[in-house]
């Protein structure tokens, strides 16, 4: 596939909602103009409609929940939202907004690992009440009551609230500067932090999304990402409300169990905008069979956004090749960049253009220098552009000297603009360090330090990795995703997208460690020595690196975030703590096999 450049984006024809200061005003506008229009369709199993929600019903139920909250909370209190995907989450979220209570959406799993994360969030946010469903309450309350930290919490099952209570609601004293919700980071590099997102942040970012993605009143959105996740919440719930267009929602598990469900939803409902992290497209390529595609038609899909993790050129090519016979067009791919700290969206291209892909010299990239390379005899790497920026200001900065980088240098991405969130809840030190950055001479700022590495070239923003994930060995920089991509294809027994590369300190300096899942069908008769030799061979050949340790894991056991991204930090910590679920370990030419 031959990718070319994009044109500059132009605004869509959606009615300008800029004068409205809060999300409450947006929903009120939709109720006034199309009260009985279906705003959300829920597919409980990813296939069958389980419920629909009109704008009028959403407003009524939200006001009833808000009236109940107003009787037991104060404006600015924090409420934990503990729900499986479904309409109950939406009504509870907007119920918090209507009460002036700060919503704290969280992952509903009651696994031990997630329980520890929830303990951290409850303590950090000083949560006073938990909003949940009756069925989920019965499953988790006993377990939660065993934790002393949770004893003070009040519980409210929102689906049991009488809608007639909506008449008792009174509008709280809130404005564009009011905090709407706390988006807790995934914790992929440490303890989760609560990003404070205001109504102004949200509405500004929704305008950017509308313009950048070319959305209109004909847009139809669909998604499977968790509703408590920034892309699921801001992209798949609030953006459709902002536009006044339908959104079809399915649980993440429905996609993971059977990825064809995602494409089938796009085909059945004529979806125009849908997407996810890069791994989701890889998953479709690996798991979907031609027989499953016999009835799908993807011609309506004009925005297949790819964001949330690094975009890989090979993924774009393989997905297009596999699904072009069913109407998918390469122009639909929309690589983009964003994060919770910027509310969501930062940069992207034009929906009618092709993604921009360039080959750069691999050795130069190790030194944080960008050089275009056309010589096929030289090691190269494909980098995918994430479009133009829509923020007031983005600069590339040397993270150590805090000076601007040259155009051909990789540095940290610093951002300034209205969509930049208000900081981290209850963490002045981290807020100062991350949201209040100035260049070394003090002349420019404040900026948000993203922690992401990248550069501006050829009219595009390119993302190369995260500072905390970088592997530095013998004064050369290695991107973990490059090593991981090499490893996962080295042996047929290894699972794709289920590994992590990182370095650990030894007496001889930093050394490379690889953690890799094994396919379930190979677990019983795995030749650990053969797999380890294969990994070592390709890593040495392609990256000129020797490995300190290779850890082979049981299927589906590698630490991941709730949205499916690998937690390299957690992998490294578990390796150091010897708590990984292993089937085999190779360290310094010694193999240990676990049964």
117-173 pLDDT, tens digit per residue, is 888 899 999 999 999 999 888 888 777 767 777 778 899 999 999 999 999 999 999
- H/E run at residue 577: helix 568-577
Q: Is the pLDDT of residue 186 over 80?
A: no
Reported confidence tier of residue 44, pLDDT bands at 50, 70, 90: very high
Q: How many CA atoms lie within 13 A of 68 on its CB side?
A: 26
Architecture of domain 258-469: 3-Layer(aba) Sandwich (3.40)
Residue 418 has what DSSP assignment? T
Distance CA 320, CA 334 (A): 13
Cα–Cα distances in angstroms (integers) from residue 97 to residues 171, 339, 446, in the given order = 10, 22, 29
Q: Which pLDDT score, from 0 to 100, does residue 540 have?
A: 93
CATH fold for domain 471-593: GMP Synthetase; Chain A, domain 3 (3.30.300)
For the stretch 440-483, pLDDT in tens is 998 899 999 999 999 998 889 999 999 988 898 888 889 899 99
Average pLDDT of span 576-585 = 92
Query: Would you state the structure tokens that stand for residue 580, as one six-digit string?
Result: 């990984």
**Number of helices (H) and strands (E), helices first, in the chain?**
17, 28
Cα–Cα distances in angstroms (integers) from residue 506 to residues 237, 410, 473, 538, 576, in the given order = 47, 28, 12, 23, 12
CATH code, residues 23-251: 3.40.50.12780
Any idea where the domains of the chain sit in the sequence?
A: 23-251, 258-469, 471-593
For the stretch 64-109, pLDDT in tens is 999 999 999 999 999 999 999 999 999 999 999 999 999 999 988 7
Average pLDDT of span 326-339 = 96
Could you tell me which of 303, 512, 484, 301 has the C-alpha nearest to residue 387? 303
Residue 97 has what DSSP assignment? H
Reported confidence tier of residue 350, pLDDT bands at 50, 70, 90: confident
Task: Name the E strands within 224-298.
Answer: 247-249, 273-276
For the stretch 232-272, pLDDT in tens is 999 999 999 999 999 999 999 999 999 999 999 999 999 99
- H/E run at residue 243: helix 239-243
Let me know if the fold of 23-251 is the same as that of 258-469.
Answer: yes
Q: Which pLDDT score, from 0 to 100, does residue 487 have?
A: 95
| Residue pair 333/273 in contact by the 8 Å Cβ criterion | no
For the stretch 365-396, pLDDT in tens is 988 999 988 887 788 889 999 998 888 799 99
Could you tell me which of 314, 322, 242 has the C-alpha nearest to residue 278? 314
Three-state SS for 474-527 is CCEEECHHHHHHHHHCCCCCEEEEEEEEEEEEECCEEEEEEEEEECHHHCCCCC
Distance CA 501, CA 480 (A): 5
Q: Is the pLDDT of residue 512 over 90?
A: yes
Average pLDDT of span 556-562 = 84
Average pLDDT of span 418-439 = 96
For the stretch 190-220, pLDDT in tens is 578 999 999 999 999 999 999 999 999 999 9
Q: Which pLDDT score, from 0 to 100, does residue 294 have?
A: 94
Distance CA 223, CA 245 (A): 14
Reported confidence tier of residue 18, pLDDT bands at 50, 70, 90: low
Q: Which pLDDT score, from 0 to 100, does residue 139 have?
A: 81
Give 334's contacts (C-beta < 8 A, 6+ positions apart): 213, 275, 303, 304, 305, 306, 348, 349, 351, 355, 387
Query: Would you state the structure tokens that stand for residue 324, as one six-digit string?
Result: 């072009």
Reported confidence tier of residue 9, pLDDT bands at 50, 70, 90: very low
Reported confidence tier of residue 38, pLDDT bands at 50, 70, 90: very high
Reported confidence tier of residue 20, pLDDT bands at 50, 70, 90: confident
Distance CA 448, CA 434 (A): 6
| Residue pair 423/415 in contact by the 8 Å Cβ criterion | no
How many residues in total does the chain contain? Answer: 595
Average pLDDT of span 515-537 = 94
Q: Which pLDDT score, from 0 to 100, does residue 390 have?
A: 81
Q: Model-level pTM?
A: 0.88
Distance CA 48, CA 310 (A): 32
Average pLDDT of span 322-329 = 97
Could you tell me which of 127, 229, 223, 149 has the C-alpha nearest to residue 188? 229
Give 137's contacts (C-beta < 8 A, 6+ positions apart): 155, 157
Give 300's contacts (C-beta < 8 A, 6+ positions apart): 220, 266, 267, 270, 271, 272
Q: Which pLDDT score, from 0 to 100, does residue 190 have?
A: 55
């Amino acid at each position: 596939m031959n990718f070319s450049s994009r044109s500059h984006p132009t605004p869509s024809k959606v009615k300008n909602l800029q004068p409205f200061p809060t999300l409450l005003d947006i929903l009120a506008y939709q109720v006034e103009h199309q009260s009985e229009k279906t705003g959300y369709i829920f597919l409980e199993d990813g296939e069958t409609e389980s419920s629909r929600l009109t704008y009028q019903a959403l407003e009524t139920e939200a006001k009833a929940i808000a009236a109940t909250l107003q009787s037991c909370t104060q404006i600015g209190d924090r409420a934990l939202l503990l729900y499986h995907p479904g309409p109950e989450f939406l009504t509870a979220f907007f119920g918090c907004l209507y009460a002036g209570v700060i919503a704290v959406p969280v992952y509903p799993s009651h696994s031990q690992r997630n329980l520890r994360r929830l303990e951290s969030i409850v303590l950090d946010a000083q949560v006073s009440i938990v909003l949940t469903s009756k069925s989920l309450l019965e499953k988790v309350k006993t377990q939660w009551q065993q934790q002393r930290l949770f004893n003070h919490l009040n519980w409210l099952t929102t689906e049991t609230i009488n809608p007639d209570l909506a008449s008792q609601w009174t509008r709280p004293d809130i404005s564009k500067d009011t905090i709407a919700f706390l988006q807790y980071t995934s914790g992929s590099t440490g303890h989760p932090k609560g990003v404070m997102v205001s109504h102004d942040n949200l509405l500004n970012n929704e305008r950017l999304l509308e313009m950048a993605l070319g959305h209109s009143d004909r847009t139809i959105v669909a998604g499977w990402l968790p509703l408590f996740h920034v892309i699921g919440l801001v992209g798949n719930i609030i953006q459709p409300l902002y536009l006044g267009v339908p959104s079809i929602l399915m649980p993440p598990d429905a996609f993971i169990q059977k990825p064809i469900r995602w494409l089938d939803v796009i085909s059945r409902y004529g979806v125009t905008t849908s997407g996810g992290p890069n791994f989701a497209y890889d998953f479709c390529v690996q798991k979907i069979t031609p027989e499953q595609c016999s009835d799908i038609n993807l011609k309506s899909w004009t925005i297949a956004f790819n964001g949330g993790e690094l975009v890989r050129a090979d993924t774009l090519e393989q997905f297009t090749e596999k699904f072009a016979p069913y109407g998918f067009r390469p122009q639909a791919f929309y690589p983009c960049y964003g994060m919770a700290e910027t509310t969501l969206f930062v940069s992207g291209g034009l929906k009618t253009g092709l993604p921009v892909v360039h080959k750069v010299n691999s050795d130069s990239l190790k030194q944080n220098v960008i050089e275009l390379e056309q010589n096929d005899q030289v090691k190269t790497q494909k980098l995918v552009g994430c479009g133009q920026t829509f923020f007031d200001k983005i600069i590339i900065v040397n993270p150590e000297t805090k000076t601007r980088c040259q155009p051909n240098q990789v540095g940290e991405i610093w951002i300034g603009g209205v969509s930049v969130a208000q900081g981290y809840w209850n963490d002045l030190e981290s807020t100062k360090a991350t949201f209040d950055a100035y260049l070394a001479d003090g002349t420019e700022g404040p900026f948000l330090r993203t922690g992401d590495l990248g550069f501006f070239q050829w009219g595009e923003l390119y993302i190369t990795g995260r500072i905390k994930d970088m592997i530095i060995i013998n004064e050369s920089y290695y991107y973990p995703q490059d090593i991981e991509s090499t490893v996962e294809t080295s042996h047929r027994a290894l699972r794709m997208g289920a590994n992590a590369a990182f370095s650990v300190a030894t007496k001889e300096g930093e050394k490379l460690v690889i953690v890799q899942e094994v396919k379930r069908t190979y677990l019983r008769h795995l030749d650990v020595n053969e797999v380890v030799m294969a990994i070592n061979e390709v890593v040495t050949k392609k990256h000129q690196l020797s490995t300190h340790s290779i850890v082979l894991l049981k299927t589906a056991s590698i630490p991941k975030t709730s949205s499916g991204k690998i937690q390299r930090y957690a992998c490294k910590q578990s390796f150091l703590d010897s708590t990984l679920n292993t089937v085999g370990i190779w360290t310094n030419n010694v193999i240990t096999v676990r049964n």
